[in-house]
Structure 1
Amino acid sequence: MHFRNRLYLFALSSLLVLAGCADDQTQQNNETVGGEQDEYLPPLHENPDELFADAPKNDALPTEGKADAVYPAQFTELLETQSPVKSQGRRGVCSIFSTVALMEHLYIQEGTYLNPDFSEQYLQWSAKFEVGAFPNTSGSNARSNLDAIVRYGIVEEDVWPYESGGWTSSDDPACGEEDKPTRCYTNGEPPAEAADAEKWYLPRSRWISTRPNDIKAHMHTKKSAVIVGLDFFYQAWGHGGSPLTTSKEYSRNGYVFYPNEVDKEKSLENRAGHSILLVGWDDNLEVPRLDENGEPMVDDNGEPVVDKGFFIFKNSWGTGWAEESPYGAGYGFISMDYVEEYGRGRVAEAPEFEIPEEVCGDGLDNDGNGDVDCDDSVCSEHATCQETSDTQTYSNTESVAIPDNDENGITSTITIDDTGTIGAMSVNLDITHSYIGDLSVMLEGPNGDLAVLLDSSESSEDNFNGTIVVTEFEGVDAQGDWTLYVWDEAKYDEGTLNEWSLEVTY
């Protein structure tokens, strides 16, 4: 039997490639030799119907951009705002990776958060447990993944790092059963750190037509990449599970051509899918299509059959794939005809950030412009930045224990004997506490007005040692008693008010 046919049968019977369950040796080969086709078996999406679930066909979607718009022959500027290429390892979670790749790209493009690294592990769990999508398989799709991000948010990678292998019976006995519970597809539940961690969101998402001009219009006008879920054709991708001859040269360069008829037929016998992120295009790139024997195709007149016009895409098979791509290892080129006929597209809007105002006098660069307090132009008229201003500090260094879960709390007082109108005020707090989110802290002025300094929240951080700018008392006479109230409003964690002070600028 021909070696490739033996390989194909082996892939079907034992590697379970389509279920995303390639073995450890296969993963090692992928990472080290990449384009060596006899061993190249990256995991795929086991059920492409999931990738296309609820996706309308192109003729039911609106046209993007203007009908007479003219786009450049080559568009590559979005490659400048991509996060590093990642590998999905041995798990069939390509749609999770393409979704996170889009999210990281949008955060970089927005400009506030320049080095995002979000957790694929968390998104896989959220899509299945919070959204409830496809609980009985490892797969998902861009819509469900983006729904999870829009509705619930995801955490950063270091909070719940991605695990390249799926759970087996050695991780959980139930994962060896035929009807595995959903936790086997998510590698369990998020750790406590992930539950408490900051969540990151996108505003909304929608389907987009995969007609070439519609994708170009979106990329060019929105400056945003496009997720595409696709039917997978093994020979066209140079996948080692194909019974047909594949091209090492094409795979090294990341070329994915429109499939020939035999490739379509053979691929449907073991149907699979894949999800990628489109990040640009090249209208002038020409790549000969290959026939079932891996030779350049010719038409009835003996003329070469060439694919002209390719989208540039980011893949999730690591840097061992397309290692000679001109845009970097892990980036490929896929026929626009392939994408239009066999793909479904999804896009999302960039994150919405409200740039905070600079708080004059807290020692922080609140608005992120690189200037702090008086160095920031918005603080030029502030009392603390005037040469004629007089700043005095008043302190109470008496340590007071904060009773646990006590509605009466504690009080501590600073008496100011000086007279004068407050131009600016800040409070310096030094509190030791094992769960600062249990605390509420307020300041009462001599006039009876109150200012909230810390409000009880779900923060799991411990201790607080910092400065809080208070604007409520500007224009008030400083003389008199200033009272600090501290309450612990939950059980189990205790702490101490070590000291506090008032910094008043007259």
Structure 2
Amino acid sequence: MKTKLILITLLSLANTNVMADDNAFLDSAYTHLIHPKTSLITNKALASKNDIEEAMTFQTPVRSQQSRGTCSIFSATAYVETLMIQNEFFDQSLDLSEEWLQYTSVRGRSSDGSSAPSNFSAAKKYGMAMEATLPYVGVDWTKSETLLSKQRCAELTGLSLKSCQITHFDPSLLLKQDADINDQDFVTARTEALNFKNEYLTTTNSNYYLYEVETIKTRLLDGKAVILEIDFYYGAWNHRGGAELGIERNMDHWAQGIIGNPEPGSIDAVKSPSKPAGHSVLVVGFDDNKIVKIKTQMADGTSKTFTYKGVYYIKNSWGTDSFGADFEIDGVNYPGYGMITQKHANEDGSFFAL
């Protein structure tokens, strides 16, 4: 009996660690969302789905943001990578530095989290460096002190220290002369990013919002990805954060990358807003005829099954061995991807393109 109890305890701890280490970290709650409108006049000439097989040829591998709230940084980086591949400037081996974009977009702030408009503006102003030059560090320095964090941030105080812990570099470095910077990798990354900007990021567009559903789908039909940033509902995503709110988790749907909808009257719709957060993903496709059925907990103690028609296909930044590990489209496995009901995305999210 004692051996059995120990085994059960160990298994329980293992499961807890898996849930804690699924890299499903979130942004702070968004305040910039503008939900797209559906045209009153339906464009019947618009295809009901895009060529997802072709869209996947423009994608770089799914990456993991690890224990930092940098999902919007990853979606923006993935967007630029896709854009470069589609324009035939690079192939699918392209790997841009999320660390650089996080620094240029968030430097000087006292809290983590960003947004597509901010990230696009930073990329256009400061460019993009390569991952090999400035590798991503997945540790949250506001919670864990490391040797590297001591080296880069130890002499700073106040807001500069907080910013360094969030972005992993002294916020003043960006405007210093090369000779005044002791970190050669940073100097190389800055030069590399400036060259990238001048060569590839020459767009003059400054309004990144996509205001209509038809515009979003037209871009996807042309093979162009878009970014979705959305108010986060723990039940819809089957996220571990819903446990403390009493929201059940469907681990099959989690592994299959299925994201539902916070139905009015559901526990998800009632409880999730008390723990506000946001999440950002890259949208690579859609299928207006895809049917998703989801059993949902209601706040009155009952459960109901809802049927949704129409999904967007997304590329996430939580790695490939947890969320969406079993995700498939037409029998082809795309680990780390998923699908979100169009109802949830259109009603609770905002779409962006550079």
Q: TM-score range by the shorter chain?
A: 0.7 to 0.9
Residue 180 of structure 2 is matched in structure 1 by: none
In 2 relative to 1, CA 28–39 (structure 1 residues): closer, same or farther, beyond 3 Å? closer
1:200 pairs with 2:196: yes
After superposition, the CA RMSD in angstroms is 3.1
Given that 2:311 and 2:342 are in contact with CA atoms closer than 8 Å, whether structure 1 keeps it comes out as yes
Match of residue 72, structure 2, among 85, 95, 98: 95
Match of residue 276, structure 2, among 268, 271, 274: 271
1:45 pairs with 2:27: yes
Q: State the alpha-carbon separation in 2 of the partners of residues 137 and 255 from structure 1.
A: 30
1:184 pairs with 2:189: no
SS at match of 1:281: strand
User: Runs of 5+ in structure 1 lacking a partner?
Assistant: 1-24, 30-36, 299-303, 349-506
Given that 2:110 and 2:159 are in contact with CA atoms closer than 8 Å, whether structure 1 keeps it comes out as no
The list of structure 1 runs, each at least 4 consecutive aligned residues, that deviate by more than 6 angstroms after superposition, is 25-28, 174-179, 293-296
1:86 pairs with 2:68: no
Question: CA shift at 1:68, angstroms?
Answer: 4.5
Question: CA shift at 1:89, angstroms?
Answer: 0.4
Residue 214 of structure 1 is matched in structure 2 by: 215
User: Runs of 5+ in structure 2 lacking a partner?
Assistant: 1-13, 171-184
1:311 pairs with 2:312: yes
In 2 relative to 1, CA 128–208 (structure 1 residues): closer, same or farther, beyond 3 Å? closer
Residue 440 of structure 1 is matched in structure 2 by: none
Question: CA shift at 1:173, angstroms?
Answer: 4.9
Q: State the alpha-carbon separation in 2 of the partners of residues 296 and 200 from structure 1.
A: 55
Question: CA shift at 1:329, angstroms?
Answer: 0.6
Q: State the alpha-carbon separation in 2 of the partners of residues 236 and 332 from structure 1.
A: 12
Q: State the alpha-carbon separation in 1 of the partners of residues 327 and 77 from structure 2.
A: 22
1:165 pairs with 2:139: yes
Higher helix share: 2
Residue 288 of structure 1 is matched in structure 2 by: 293
Question: CA shift at 1:246, angstroms?
Answer: 1.2
Residue 415 of structure 1 is matched in structure 2 by: none
Given that 1:290 and 1:296 are in contact with CA atoms closer than 8 Å, whether structure 2 keeps it comes out as no
Residue 323 of structure 1 is matched in structure 2 by: 325
In 2 relative to 1, CA 179–239 (structure 1 residues): closer, same or farther, beyond 3 Å? farther
Residue 147 of structure 1 is matched in structure 2 by: 121
In 2 relative to 1, CA 192–340 (structure 1 residues): closer, same or farther, beyond 3 Å? same
Larger radius of gyration: 1
Higher strand share: 1
Question: CA shift at 1:151, angstroms?
Answer: 1.8
Given that 2:66 and 2:139 are in contact with CA atoms closer than 8 Å, whether structure 1 keeps it comes out as yes
SS at match of 1:149: helix
Q: TM-score, normalised by structure 1?
A: 0.54
In 2 relative to 1, CA 98–159 (structure 1 residues): closer, same or farther, beyond 3 Å? same
In 2 relative to 1, CA 137–284 (structure 1 residues): closer, same or farther, beyond 3 Å? same
Given that 2:258 and 2:339 are in contact with CA atoms closer than 8 Å, whether structure 1 keeps it comes out as yes
Deviations 1:335-357 (A, max 9, x none): 10111111111102xxxxxxxxx
Q: State the alpha-carbon separation in 2 of the partners of residues 117 and 144 from structure 1.
A: 21
Residue 351 of structure 2 is matched in structure 1 by: 345
Q: State the alpha-carbon separation in 1 of the partners of residues 341 and 274 from structure 2.
A: 22
Deviations 1:310-341 (A, max 9, x none): 00000000002211111411000001011111
Give the number of equivalent residue pairs: 300
Given that 1:95 and 1:142 are in contact with CA atoms closer than 8 Å, whether structure 2 keeps it comes out as yes
How do 1:464-503 residues align onto structure 2 when only pairs under 5 Å count?
A: none
1:119 pairs with 2:97: yes
Does 1 or 2 have the higher relative contact order (CA < 8 Å, sep 6+)?
2
In 2 relative to 1, CA 38–181 (structure 1 residues): closer, same or farther, beyond 3 Å? closer
Given that 1:127 and 1:148 are in contact with CA atoms closer than 8 Å, whether structure 2 keeps it comes out as yes
In 2 relative to 1, CA 178–148 (structure 1 residues): closer, same or farther, beyond 3 Å? closer
Which amino acid in 2 is paired with 1:193?
A: T
Residue identity over aligned pairs, in percent, reads 28
